[in-house]
Amino acid sequence: MVELAKRVLSLTPSSTLAITAKAKELKEQGKDVIGLGAGEPDFNTPQHILDAAFQSMNEGHTKYTPSAGLPTLKQAISKKFEMDQGLIYEPNEIIVTNGAKHALYTLFQVLLNDGDEVIIPTPYWVSYPEQVKLAGGVPVYIEGLEENQFKITPEQLKKAITNKTKAVIINSPSNPTGVIYTAEELLELGKICLEENILIVSDEIYEKLVYGNAKHVSIAQLSPELKKQTIIINGVSKSHSMTGWRIGYAAGNSQIIKAMTNLASHSTSNPTTTAQYAAIAAYNGPQEPVETMRQAFEERLEIIYKKLTAIPGFTCVKPQGAFYLYPNVKQAAINTGFENVDEFAKALLVEANVAVIPGSGFGTPDNIRLSYATSLEQLEKAISRIHQFVESKMRA
């Protein structure tokens, strides 16, 4: 037997794996399974981006680039920050990475020493705690209460800080809840971070997918002091339907960015060259496809939210962004005779042919996550199946 590294053995397996594997098995058996676990838009990458990537290859741009990314791409990212948030970042304050996930991973690797704590609000994106642990850090959880739209309060943040606290993660719009922090809420949290000298990791990957009267605000744009205290994580995966291209980035303190660049030079060398040229076209080209996709998601949300909350035992904070619904289904699980929501989710897949992600993987075991990044027809069919499943079990 090969003895594996302790850092790997400490990882918690993804909660989605069992559901995903079972869904695949049922599909192979010919079952009409509807998957609502997707964390990516169901739109193809816009044509002008595809064309730019193809052109870059034909022009011979298939070699190494600087580890921190193409200067032209960093210029495009800098321009985007200035236009969207009024933020100015110099090239040495930006690193382009192999997806936003890689930006987060690299950040924690250069930031954390053994025992350093990172505050993570729950519900959280599944990879936050594991990335912190891989860097020798300790995840410290703050419960975002459903009655407060899953947002943490300044009082909760203050109480969670110790002399080992290195950073706090803010994800707005949120995966899995879709909620958005207001400027006022961010400012209050930011004051505490400044007082305690806590780094703010602001995950803004869903910033372009915002609905109704909600508005995305970056905590870094609220004051010069908060900008200095914040590392922004973003990318083109969700905004431009480029999940598979793997282009993300981090922006902030030049010392941290330099350390991240040094680490990247010894791990990935550079982000994929062709994908970088595609990302340049994404930011410098027409933005109408982004708005078209956003409008489609908003239309789906309005229709599906009403149908979902009509299911007995389902309650749901209405999302303001991203493309997920995160209902509390504890009562539905109880009403239908299941011990917990995980068992309820398994039964939904096996008996109703609908795959959802249990909330236990996001730190809140009473919820499930459903993605509406699929066609309206499929969404309506899936919600109808769930509704019928719950009512049939209740009658039984």
- For residue 16, pLDDT over 80 is answered with no
Tokens at 329, concatenated:
């289904």
3-state SS, residue 99: coil
Cα–Cα distance for residue pair 147/303, rounded to 1 Å: 23
- For residue 24, pLDDT over 90 is answered with no
For residue 4, what pLDDT band results from cuts at 50, 70 and 90? very high
Q: How many CB atoms lie within 10 A of CB 47?
A: 10
3-state SS, residue 354: strand
pLDDT of residue 39: 85
For residue 117, what pLDDT band results from cuts at 50, 70 and 90? very high
pLDDT of residue 120: 98
Instruction: Report whether 125 contacts 362 (CB < 8 A).
Output: yes
What value does the mean pLDDT take over residues 98-116? 98
Q: For helices 100-111 and 127-134, what crossing angle results, to 10°?
A: 40
Q: Residue 132 is which amino acid?
A: V
What is the β-pairing status of strands 34-35 and 94-97? Answer: unpaired
Instruction: Report whether 137 contacts 165 (CB < 8 A).
Output: no
* pLDDT tens column, 158-167: 999 999 999 9
Helix (H) or strand (E) holding 119: strand 117-122
- For residue 17, pLDDT over 70 is answered with no
Tokens at 387, concatenated:
């509704």
Q: How many CB atoms lie within 10 A of CB 380?
A: 14
Q: What angle do CA 84, 87, 91 make, to 5 degrees?
A: 110
For residue 152, what pLDDT band results from cuts at 50, 70 and 90? very high
What value does the mean pLDDT take over residues 132-161? 97
Cα–Cα distance for residue pair 189/229, rounded to 1 Å: 12
Q: How many CB atoms lie within 10 A of CB 374?
A: 19
pLDDT of residue 27: 87
Sign of CA dihedral 62, 63, 68, 72: negative
Cα–Cα distance for residue pair 172/322, rounded to 1 Å: 9
For residue 55, what pLDDT band results from cuts at 50, 70 and 90? very high
- For residue 395, pLDDT over 80 is answered with no
Report the chain's mean pLDDT, rounded to a whole number.
96
- What is the percentage of the chain residues whose pLDDT exceeds 70? 99
3-state SS, residue 100: helix
Tokens at 50, concatenated:
């595809």
Q: How many CB atoms lie within 10 A of CB 258?
A: 15
Cα–Cα distance for residue pair 226/198, rounded to 1 Å: 10
Tokens at 132, concatenated:
């912190």
For residue 25, what pLDDT band results from cuts at 50, 70 and 90? confident
DSSP state of 220: G
* pLDDT tens column, 326-383: 999 999 999 999 999 999 999 999 999 999 999 999 999 999 999 999 999 999 999 9
Main-chain phi, psi angles of 143, to 5 degrees:
-80, 115
* pLDDT tens column, 209-241: 999 999 999 999 999 999 999 999 999 999 999
* pLDDT tens column, 299-330: 999 999 999 999 999 999 999 999 999 999 99
For residue 183, what pLDDT band results from cuts at 50, 70 and 90? very high
3-state SS, residue 269: coil
Task: Identify the CA nearest to 277 among candidates 51, 122, 83.
Answer: 51
Q: How far from 149 is each of 186, 225, 289, CA to CA, in Å? A: 14, 27, 30
pLDDT of residue 174: 98
**Higher-confidence position of 297 and 37:** 297
* pLDDT tens column, 242-294: 999 999 999 999 999 999 999 999 999 999 999 999 999 999 999 999 999 99
Does this model's pTM top 0.75? yes
Q: Residue 188 is which amino acid?
A: E
How big is the chain, counted in residues? 396
Cα–Cα distance for residue pair 113/210, rounded to 1 Å: 36
For residue 15, what pLDDT band results from cuts at 50, 70 and 90? low
For residue 10, what pLDDT band results from cuts at 50, 70 and 90? confident
Cα–Cα distance for residue pair 99/376, rounded to 1 Å: 28
Cα–Cα distance for residue pair 46/60, rounded to 1 Å: 22
Tokens at 192, concatenated:
């505490």
